[in-house]
Homo-oligomer: A and B are copies of this chain.
Amino acid sequence: MLGKFLLPEVRELIASGDEETLREILNRWSPADVVELFDALSDEEDLAGIKMMSGPQRARVFEYLDRRSQKHLLGALPPESVRSLLNEIADDDRTAILEELSESEKERLLTLLSDEQRAIAESFLKFPENSVGRLMTPHVVAVLPQWTVQHVLDHIRQHGQDSETLNVVYIVDHNHRLIDDLRIRKILLAKPTQYLSEILDNNFVALKANDPKRDAVEVFRQYDRTALPVVDDDGKLLGVVTIDDVIDIAEESATADMQKLGGLEALNEPYDSTPLLTMIRKRAVWLVVLFLGEMLTATAMGFFEVEIEKAVVLALFVPLIISSGGNSGSQAATLIVRALALGEVRLRDWFMVFRREVLSGLALGCTLGLIGFSRIALWTTFTDIYGPHWFLVGLTVGISLVGIVLWGTLAGAMLPFLLKRLGLDPATSSAPLVATLVDVTGLIIYFSVAILILRGTLL
């Protein structure tokens, strides 16, 4: 909050060359505020600012920066500063940066680390990409059940400095196998002379290092924790994952789902740092698939070429009709994909959804059908573009709309269930995919209704 308000004052300090005050500000402000200030300054000014900071403050600020700025600084700072920076930042942040660098750049940075830090960094990079192991830090407070509360408090005071979180304390046996996790609240509320074995309940939830990141979000959401322990296959405590990392993953998942709903492959990187060619490729794949599917509309239209030749007026409403089916399908698909993602609706609820969507589709279809008919009736009062059979044309458009909106709604609502049932990602049922599916059938519905109603008059 501070960063934005004081920008003019800071610019003035830079202009007047008052380095001492600047240095004090940069070292005293909270890292988040400094980053907000950095966002408003140029890359060169950021670099100068970073150089003015003390080691720990520099590391905290660095952790808050976006990936692009981090990479820029790692490239621009002298090797000595990069070394101390990398040694100082949190393990999970370091892993996250290293995994995104090129092999050669990664090698260069790894050689700058101290032996101990390099061993840690390399052990993390051994876990699969997108696994919980890449998110964790090994620095936790692990204590034995036969300790007293006072012993734990003394231990934390002496050895807790490096721990990523002190909100939870982990109880292990002599083989470092996890026995329980205790929120700090339980320790703080207990008598100092109590033994941990008296307050622990062996009731804990742990993540496996090889589990996918996305699972961690589910567990955090379900268990309202601020930190979760990570264990290996033998149940040995490896480290901890904190909730701040998990919020980022939840956002990433939502972004990926949105992008799939928008009809493209998930980028998995911020828009502005995705290479142009990668982005075009990820968009082209789906665009081409949809285009190939949509070609069936040309085939369907060709099938009704005779009817169009006889009554060109029918062609005029084709875009209106098929887009209404696509729009209603897009609404239904979005609702169901998100409801499935949040667990509001489960696979076995498909029939409940089906019934609701039949009613919604009918109501929405009748609304649009009525408006469509009225528009044709209204236009006829001052133009004769729809000819003498305007009433029948209006009827054709109105009735087709009811059918097409109902069909679009049901297709959009049921496709996510079908995909999930088949073990695929429901978010693949994007607005464009549903629209494409509905377009072809929409044309068939429209021209069939037209043939039924207009036979003997226009057709």
Contacts and interface: CB of A to CB of B under 8 A. Distances in A.
Contacts of A96: none
Interface in A155-172: 156-157, 160-161, 163, 165-167
A200 to B, nearest CB: 13
Contacts of A28: 201, 203
Interface stretch (A71-79, A108-116, A319-327): A319-327
Interface string A126-137: 000000000000
Interface string A363-390: 1100110011001000000000100000
A315 B254 CA distance: 39
Contacts of A326: 323, 326, 432, 435
Interface of A is mostly: helix
A298 interface: yes
Contact of A344 (B167, B244, B270): B270
Contacts of A224: 32, 64, 244
Interface in A214-249: 220-224, 226, 243-244, 247
A338 to B, nearest CB: 5
Chain A: interface size category: 35 or more
A335 B184 contact: no
A58 to B, nearest CB: 17
B262 A334 contact: yes
Contact of A308 (B287, B315, B345, B356): B315
A15 interface: no
A165 B287 CA distance: 49
A144 interface: no
A349 B39 CA distance: 13
A330 B291 contact: no
A203 B30 contact: yes
Interface string A325-367: 0111011011111110010110001001100100110011001
Contacts of A188: 153, 156-157, 160, 166, 184
A32 B218 CA distance: 12
A276 B335 CA distance: 13
A184 B189 CA distance: 13
Q: How many copies does the complex hold?
A: 2
Given A259-B335, A261-B262, A359 B432 contact: no
A184 B169 CA distance: 13
Which of A1, A64, A316, A317 has the largest number of chain B CB atoms within 10 A?
Answer: A316
A435 to B, nearest CB: 7
A26 to B, nearest CB: 13
Contacts of A270: 339, 342, 344
Given A203-B29, A264-B334, A334-B264, A327 B156 contact: no
Given A271-B339, A330-B430, 20 more contacts: A36-B222, A165-B185, A254-B258, A257-B258, A258-B337, A259-B338, A261-B334, A262-B334, A263-B431, A271-B345, A272-B345, A276-B359, A279-B356, A284-B363, A287-B328, A291-B368, A295-B320, A295-B375, A308-B315, A309-B312
Interface of A: 1, 28-30, 32, 36, 64, 153, 156-157, 160-161, 163, 165-167, 183-185, 188-191, 201, 203, 205, 220-224, 226, 243-244, 247, 250-251, 254-255, 257-259, 261-264, 267, 270-273, 276, 279-280, 283-284, 286-288, 290-292, 294-295, 297-298, 301-302, 305, 308-309, 312-313, 315-320, 322-324, 326-328, 330-331, 333-339, 342, 344-345, 349, 352-353, 356, 359-360, 363-364, 367-368, 371-372, 375, 385, 405, 430-432, 435-436, 439, 443
22 contacts: A28-B203, A29-B203, A30-B205, A30-B223, A32-B205, A32-B223, A32-B224, A163-B185, A258-B258, A264-B331, A271-B335, A279-B360, A280-B359, A280-B364, A284-B367, A287-B368, A288-B367, A294-B323, A302-B385, A305-B313, A308-B312, A308-B315
